[in-house]
Structure 1
Amino acid sequence: MKQKDFKFLKELVETPSPSGFEQPAQRLIKTQLQGVANDLKTDVMGNLIARLDGLGEKKIMLAGHCDEIGFMVQYVDEQGFIYFGAIGGVDPHLSPGQRIKIHTAQGDVSGVVGKKAIHLIEPKDRDTVIKLKQQFIDIGCASREEVEALVQIGDPVTFAVGVQSLQNNRATSRAFDDKMGAFIITEVMKRVKLSGEIASDLYTVSTVQEEIGLRGAVTSSYDVNPDVGIVVEVTHATDYPDVEPSAIGRVELGKGPVLARGANINPMLFKLLVDTAAAEKIPVQIIGLPRAAGNDTNVMQLSRGGVATALLGIPLRYMHTPVETLSLSDLDQAISLLVAVVQRINAGTSFIPE
């Protein structure tokens, strides 16, 4: 990955955007697409919809959600400890002992999720998960009044970690799910713009509130009304200990993006993706999806009279943790594949199953 692209990815992933609080990330994406897209708009939900005009033969929508899991301030006790709830699917195993940031109107406030020392825990209780409602944040204040001068009820919270490079072109961070998807579709629009005229109009949508119910994809898919929709998401890697490949499929970091097959996926669009990957010599991995996807693909397919949808996944280890890990080469391959597919779709491309 080029240094400037990695810099954008890093900045996007590290910009806080829990579900319902996505605008800092959306503003960053918007700066990347100004001068590229023919039109940029933010809808009432907070989705950022960019349009690149082609010849208008079809409408293609690429979607990646920019919201991340996190927490929300809900209560402050008299001693100045902050109790919180989860935004999205947070594992309560992970939060005790973590550093966090509370994102307030005045700026970030640092804190920690408190954890009783192991010396003070009864041996029989040491393997017990502390319920999220019993966990608390310590920002160093000694009273409720001190806290309330800095923090408001409803302020979002994220883990205080960012992108770090690992060996073999891999990287780790919180929130690769799914800001790397928003990154990919943004890069695709840039490269399609540079490639010259295309037959179809291209829409890239950085969707919101996926982690709490696919909400932004519902409204943006209805608004755009695409003929073709491809969702870029993370998918579970199965190449690390204690994960059973037989339950998901063989999914490995660095072996290329993942294409899903199943009822949620239009078979003609799936074939176009596979054929394009072969023609462009782009490695891909394939998994079976025997049920509706638990991501934006689900609702996009059912928008209005139906949309020809596909799901392109990036293998990810340790999903919904502060140490999500992926291969940067898989992102590069996904961008190349999507650019090539967008260039191939025209008025004569049929997505009616045969």
Structure 2
Amino acid sequence: EGSPRVMLAGHIDEIGLQVTHIDDEGYLYVAEIGGWDPQVIVGQRVTILGSDGEMSGVVGKKAIHLIEDEERSKASKTKSLWIDVGAKDNKEVAELGIRVGDPMVIAQGMLSLAGDRIASRAIDDRIGAFIVLEAVRLLSDDPPVAATTAVATVQEEIGYTGGGARTSAYSLVPDVAIVVDVTFSTDVPDIDKKELGEHKLGGGPVLSRGSSSSNEVFKTLSQVAEKEGIPYTIQAAPKATRTDADGIFLTRHGVPTGLVSVPNRYMHSPNEVVSLEDVQNSARLIAAFIRHLNPDTDFTPR
């Protein structure tokens, strides 16, 4: 109950791999789920989600001693790698409950770094889903007049036009939506800030301005951030944002949508890095934004 109706979305799917072939010797060959740099897959441990439960494996590649000089300068391709589960042959692989179509993820947990930084796989975008829940928790002691629904979406990594986000928005018919995701932290070497802007760990949430985001929602988010003393930066989005915002924005008659992102180093790798201060400030901003709303709030462009 309440008005306006607010949808908060963070996607919980992650990039991974999928078994495409199992050879006679028991090696698994895979295709990418989502966008990978194959160089970061080499030598990783994986967790295969088989029909009989989880199974561990390692990513195999020809040893450096056996690679010809002309090959060494060439980048690895996913189709040239294989997964070794320790099986003697394909029969044993079948006995382990592994078959074509099974997905797998990199076996990498969370690591605490210096200060308030953490590293982990799938920060894109489990951290966004966490921020959504944290914002709702901050609102729970004194519920706002707005009716807020937190949504953990899926299929963002394979179809950023909004798989689960689009269907959820279609069902909820929100008056306004806030998508929470990650964006490139540009405080690392060899990044062109003229192209991507200046966004750093500890610099606060990043507010998208441009395509697939309502300028009225952006203005309200920025005004609330300034009132609450929350640091933020602005990211230009002249084209698709490649987030769930693209799908929600165009659902039904259109949904006024805002995109709040956390600066993230090494995106789509086993060791993405974020600042927990940015995480908390993002949740604070979203909670304050929702408290700012009332039944007369109108995000129609004037």
TM-score class, shorter-chain normalisation, is over 0.9
Aligned to 1:212: 158
C-alpha distance in 1, partners of 2:203/2:76?
A: 38
Q: Structure 1, residues 73-126: CA drift from partner, whole Å, max 9, x if none? A: 121111111111111111112212111111223222111110211111011110
Aligned to 2:136: 189
**Corresponding position: 1:301 with 2:249:** yes
C-alpha distance in 1, partners of 2:26/2:3?
A: 60
**Secondary structure, in 3 states, of the residue corresponding to 2:38?**
coil
C-alpha distance in 2, partners of 1:191/1:71?
A: 36
C-alpha distance in 2, partners of 1:185/1:222?
A: 19
List aligned pairs for 1:159-170, cutoff 5 A: 159-170=106-117
Write the letter of the residue equivalent to 2:125.
D
C-alpha distance in 2, partners of 1:108/1:177?
A: 22
Write the letter of the residue equivalent to 1:326.
V
List aligned pairs for 1:74-153, cutoff 5 A: 74-150=20-96, 151-153=98-100
C-alpha distance in 1, partners of 2:49/2:35?
A: 19
Aligned-residue identity in percent: 44
Q: 2:120 aligns with which of 165, 173, 193?
A: 173
| Alignment RMSD (CA, Å) | 1.0
Shifted more, 102-111 versus 303-312: the winner is: 102-111
* TM-score normalised according to structure 2 size: 0.97
C-alpha distance in 2, partners of 1:193/1:105?
A: 39
C-alpha distance in 1, partners of 2:154/2:207?
A: 23
C-alpha distance in 2, partners of 1:339/1:220?
A: 21
Q: Structure 1, residues 263-316: CA drift from partner, whole Å, max 9, x if none? A: 322111111111111111111111111112111111111111111111000000
Gaps of 5+ in 2: none
**Secondary structure, in 3 states, of the residue corresponding to 1:93?**
helix
Aligned to 2:236: 288
**Secondary structure, in 3 states, of the residue corresponding to 1:142?**
coil
Q: 2:213 aligns with which of 265, 269, 282?
A: 265
**Secondary structure, in 3 states, of the residue corresponding to 1:197?**
coil
Task: Give yes or no for contact 2:211–2:241 (8 Å, CA) kept in 1.
Answer: no
Cα drift, residue 66 of structure 1: 0.4
* TM-score normalised according to structure 1 size: 0.83
Cα drift, residue 203 of structure 1: 0.8
C-alpha distance in 1, partners of 2:39/2:292?
A: 46
List aligned pairs for 1:316-327, cutoff 5 A: 316-327=264-275
Write the letter of the residue equivalent to 1:211.
E
Aligned to 2:224: 276
C-alpha distance in 2, partners of 1:333/1:341?
A: 12
Cα drift, residue 131 of structure 1: 2.0
List aligned pairs for 1:20-35, cutoff 5 A: none
List aligned pairs for 1:32-43, cutoff 5 A: none
Q: Structure 1, residues 138-193: CA drift from partner, whole Å, max 9, x if none? A: 01111100011111222111111111010121011110000111111011112211
Cα drift, residue 62 of structure 1: 0.6
Task: Give yes or no for contact 2:135–2:283 (8 Å, CA) kept in 1.
Answer: yes
